[in-house]
Amino acid sequence: MTQSRTHTCGELRLTNAGERVKLCGWMENVRVVSASLAFVVLRDFYGTTQAVAETEDLVNTFKAITKESTVSIEGTVRERGNKNPKQATGDIEVVPERVEVLGRCRYNELPFQINRSREADEAQRLKYRYLDLRNPEVKNNIVLRCQVTAALRRAMTEHGFLEITTPILTASSPEGARDYLVPARNHPGKFYALPQAPQQFKQLLMTSGFDRYFQMAPCFRDEDARADRSPGEFYQLDMEMAFATQDDVFSVIEDVLPPVFAKYGLYGRASAAPFTRISYRDAMETYGTDKPDLRIDLRVQDVTELLSGCGFGPFAEGPVKAVVVSDFHEARKWIDRTLSSAEVVSGGKAYWFRLDDKGEVVGGISKFVAPIREQVVSALNLKPNSFVALSSGKDALKTAGVLVKTLGAAVPGHMDKEQYAFCWIVDFPMYEIGEESGELEFCHNPFSMPSGGLDVLERARRGEVDPLTITADQYDLVCNGVELSSGAVRNHDPEIMVRAFELVRLGEADVKAKFPAMYNAFCYGAPPHAGIAPGLDRMVMLLAGEESIREIIPFPMNKNAMDVMMDAPGTVTDRQLQELHIAIVGDSDV
């Protein structure tokens, strides 16, 4: 071993008995048994080792050292009397002859117990993240992240991709989220932007003649936090392929990801190629979401025609959606509690009835369903002990999707949890009506190739095709109900690009102004190309089985996009502002 130690704290075994060793690490605990006997636990990155002080001087030495101080111990390895089978080094212990304090912990009280830091308040964990990371359980998530990153790099290189880094300081671009802006000191009044994604650069690489590109790309978006999204920055396995189709991209991803998930994930099973492909429209109608969890066997059924006239007021206007759960034996309190939690997530109201063991309609809105029992049982193929959850109104589909996920996970027998189930969502709408503008807007990525190319756009311009029916050669990769990535066959033709933007009231001049490099590059002959960018953070979150993405990021921000450990964002001096030609107006802490 290099440096001042002969072994790590996770390395020694019975075969080392009798050897003189030197260990370095953090003093995790001291248990004093008597004036001349104490047991010490030493921890480093690799594990823990027990040391035994058997003289009064050594016991007093260890008693004087505060927990979490770094120390070195020199001594002899011997077989342990009371072995610990749960510990890798549990067959041995070290009898110290010399102890040296390398870095003293100057606090008698820690913010939390290191090995129980995950039970502490999150604000404390983030403020003292360097202590939180000493917890092996927390540290292991970061180790996993490193292993997964290395495995993905190897796989992409083996598939002929070149790792190329793209700029961090670039131009602001309308890509769907707010930019982080960086003032340009030498160009007063002008700003760089941190890239929301390397989208334009990777397409320019394809135009430059590179055939296969990838990078572990940092992306910066001024977005609010969610359980599966960290505010500020995130990383993605960004890739692009020249002369490629959708199937070419699918083939690479289906070859790269399953082995990584099977090797490093909690579950040893991952979908094999080819992944299930579901159109966006079918996903919404069948699962109530474009992020279906294929481990769940529940589906959404449309019962508008069947139930809109049953006399129950909320169903009168429709639509009405149903989710049927077979072999159901839960009590009324369970039903109320579970549906209530689903309503909190969906924002819509859920209704229900069930068939008892005799096949009679009971509970919930049963009095409205009972008169048409035969038709309902037949249409939904209900058996005794079936439960039917219902939603209606403008949010019916969204609520039904939440019910599928909630009931599927909660009712035994409806979710094959221990696997990674991948699917592709394809044929996304190219356009939608904006909620705020009320006008036609791009639904997702404006750089996607419309299915049908120039012809369908020309027909839409002439009024022969409804733009809302145009689909894009765009796709999402979904795993266990989590969207890992969006990707697309790119729009590489300047004429098609201009026509696509014209439908959202932007002309050729606007396209040239907003995307000058890309538009000009495409005018010099661009190859057809396609790509995708699975989120590294979300992948590791799934592999680690964590509910919060902050658990797999070394130094995460909190929900308010603040780094409480580094006190960022923070104030700057007036001189710094003057150098950048910036004046702060209005309310400020400066």
| pLDDT for position 228 | 78
529 class by beta-carbon count within 10 Å (0-12 exposed, 13-18 middle, 19+ buried) = buried
Q: Please give the Cα distance from 11 to 14 (Å, whole number).
A: 10
Helix, strand, or coil (residue 571): coil
Predicted TM-score (pTM) of this structure? 0.91
Superfamily of domain 296-410: GAD-like domain (3.30.1360.30)
Domain boundaries, the chain: 14-103, 296-410
DSSP string across 424-435: EEEEEESEEE-T
- 8 A C-beta contact, residue 403 and residue 389: yes
pLDDT digits (tens, 9 = 90+) for 444-464: 888 899 999 999 999 999 999
Asked if the domains 14-103 and 296-410 are classified in one and the same CATH topology, the answer is: no
Give pLDDT < 70 ranges for the chain: 1-3, 174-176, 587-590
Integer Cα distance of 389 and 353 in angstroms: 7
- Alpha-carbon distance of 429 to 222, in angstroms, equals 26
Strand duo 471-479 + 422-429: pairing: antiparallel
Take residue 91 and report the two structure tokens written for it.
């067959």
CATH of domain 14-103: 2.40.50.140
Q: What is the pLDDT of residues 44-82, one digit of tens each?
A: 999 999 999 999 999 999 999 999 999 999 999 999 999
How many other C-beta atoms can be found within 10 angstroms of the C-beta atom of residue 187? 10
